[in-house]
Structure 1
């Protein structure tokens, strides 16, 4: 990354190469971090965050589970997210707020509870699974399971949880698949390495419940809301592995993945192949939020900022000067 890429780090905007941490950082050794992934979309009304307040709320909830004091309030984090996008001059972006235990002793329990750092990155990021949004992704059921209940809290979006996701994703890639789907410790469907999953069974949209070791996804909630607004029947219930092979349609969703159809599971074609009609309708409703085709009845969009006549570059220059 070039120095024109700015990072908000502990209250200050810094060039990319200056946002550094010490090698004794607790999160490096023990995964003691919580984070969010957020999207900014280029809309007819300028760059807009999608559900920024909901992401920030979950960030603080995740930190609370692990006893991490963020050190800022939610409004301050929202403002910082906007600042770093403006400072980087991005019309659309993937934004990553990260809260982590910083430098200190090497014990599992951190010695200094105040040594918490906060960083926010904003990067250009297209479709997570490339052309799979139109063609569908080929996925597999992983041999790795999600953690059992009352082990790792799946509702918290914590860095350590994603070691399991890495195993699932690496196994899938070694097998020539775009992604892996994990089962829970009970053998029932859970989620993808970094996505929630939906199936269409007999015309009903079905997804595993939040008790199935899944992240309570904000895009997942958005899909359920959009589906019901389209008059679709939605169910959250336990699903066996074979439901993937019975389904007329399957898709994955998440901030990075957005809504990505699944073309095949374990090299078995899903339904008639391609993008099914319900998946397509949901894609159109979702992406329509960002080009004006779908009315934002839920207040999910919020502007990055009002720079008036100033260009993104001017906004970036003024912010950098203010924090110099």
Structure 2
């Protein structure tokens, strides 16, 4: 990475620094997105996946937080393309837009404080093991949406995810699963979750303190297009253990099988056929191999 985009300009990575008193550093007053771009060597092009949907959520997160982004959705998409070209990206890339309260103050009142908007790109491969991960239902509960705006990707909220993941990792697992305060399954530390039972997909509803994931919405639509039944409903911890298949979805995680939860083998302990079908189709889509979904992709070159 040579360049980052900051407030409408390309600057070198070394120039993109912040003062030690930056408000967001102390209080988590930032909103962000995670977007992927995929390199297709056959088409000799890089494709940004669902950039518009991500930037719509980016703007919505900022509105919920009460901070102002001075750049429209089309401007941010154009800036992302410009940045990827400047960095001559020709591999899979993770894109991190962020808007943060950049004023140097310890005042909690963020009204009218300066906001910086930036976009960073990072070469990025697999986030989780594609052959399957072991997950733990951790003791840390997912923050309830009466306490935080759970549909917004706010920096400070992710302390919840950090604590959950550390709990799982320290116990020898790969990933965490959080319950909500009512005891129902919410999500992973950075992923939405699906279970498969008798050929039907089930996933927690948006009112159960989950992030309304772009990948989650993608998988629901794609699965239905594949002829699968998808039900959004509350899921209990016991249902995780007795599911035929379980998988995580997310921009970073893509579609990742969960083969063990709390030491209990899921299914036969291998990625299930429905999970693999969805994952393989999803990977074809993001690499520009499925014409039906090409409208989700923005070519960089």
Same fold (TM over 0.5): yes
Mapping for residues 105-116 of structure 1, pairs under 5 Å: 105-110=105-110, 113-116=112-115
CA contact (8 A) 2:47 2:287 kept: no
State the alpha-carbon separation in 1 of the partners of residues 170 and 294 from structure 2.
41
State the alpha-carbon separation in 2 of the partners of residues 51 and 244 from structure 1.
29
Question: Which residue number in structure 2 is paired with residue 264 of structure 1?
Answer: 260
State the alpha-carbon separation in 1 of the partners of residues 14 and 288 from structure 2.
37
Question: Which residue number in structure 2 is paired with residue 252 of structure 1?
Answer: 248
CA contact (8 A) 1:60 1:70 kept: yes
Q: How many residues are treated as equivalent by the alignment?
A: 298
Question: Which residue number in structure 1 is paired with residue 94 of structure 2?
Answer: 94
State the alpha-carbon separation in 2 of the partners of residues 292 and 80 from structure 1.
21
Question: Which residue number in structure 2 is paired with residue 103 of structure 1?
Answer: 103
Q: Deviations over 1:143-202 (max 9, x none)?
A: 000112311111001101100000001111101111000000100000000000000012
Q: Which moved more, 1:223-232 or 1:285-294?
A: 285-294
Question: Which residue number in structure 2 is paired with residue 63 of structure 1?
Answer: 62
State the alpha-carbon separation in 1 of the partners of residues 55 and 246 from structure 2.
29
Q: CA RMSD in A?
A: 1.3
State the alpha-carbon separation in 2 of the partners of residues 137 and 251 from structure 1.
9
Q: Which portions of structure 1, spanning 4 or more consecutive aligned residues, are displaced by more than 4 angstroms? A: none
State the alpha-carbon separation in 1 of the partners of residues 50 and 122 from structure 2.
18
State the alpha-carbon separation in 1 of the partners of residues 248 and 185 from structure 2.
13
Judged with a 3 Å threshold, the aligned counterparts in structure 2 of structure 1 residues 74 and 249 are, in CA distance, closer, same or farther, namely same
Which consecutive unaligned segments of at least 5 residues does structure 1 have?
Answer: 307-324
State the alpha-carbon separation in 2 of the partners of residues 26 and 33 from structure 1.
9
State the alpha-carbon separation in 2 of the partners of residues 279 and 294 from structure 1.
18
Mapping for residues 284-299 of structure 1, pairs under 5 Å: 284-297=280-293, 299=295
State the alpha-carbon separation in 2 of the partners of residues 60 and 52 from structure 1.
12
TM-score w.r.t. length of structure 1: 0.89
CA contact (8 A) 1:261 1:275 kept: yes
Judged with a 3 Å threshold, the aligned counterparts in structure 2 of structure 1 residues 291 and 303 are, in CA distance, closer, same or farther, namely closer
State the alpha-carbon separation in 1 of the partners of residues 296 and 181 from structure 2.
34
Judged with a 3 Å threshold, the aligned counterparts in structure 2 of structure 1 residues 141 and 222 are, in CA distance, closer, same or farther, namely same
Aligned residue among 185, 198, 204 for 1:202: 198
State the alpha-carbon separation in 2 of the partners of residues 292 and 11 from structure 1.
29
Aligned residue among 209, 212, 219 for 2:215: 219
State the alpha-carbon separation in 2 of the partners of residues 292 and 194 from structure 1.
25
Mapping for residues 137-156 of structure 1, pairs under 5 Å: 137-156=133-152
State the alpha-carbon separation in 2 of the partners of residues 85 and 296 from structure 1.
25
State the alpha-carbon separation in 2 of the partners of residues 255 and 110 from structure 1.
30
Question: Which residue number in structure 1 is paired with residue 276 of structure 2?
Answer: 280
State the alpha-carbon separation in 2 of the partners of residues 283 and 167 from structure 1.
28
Shift of 1:9: 1.2
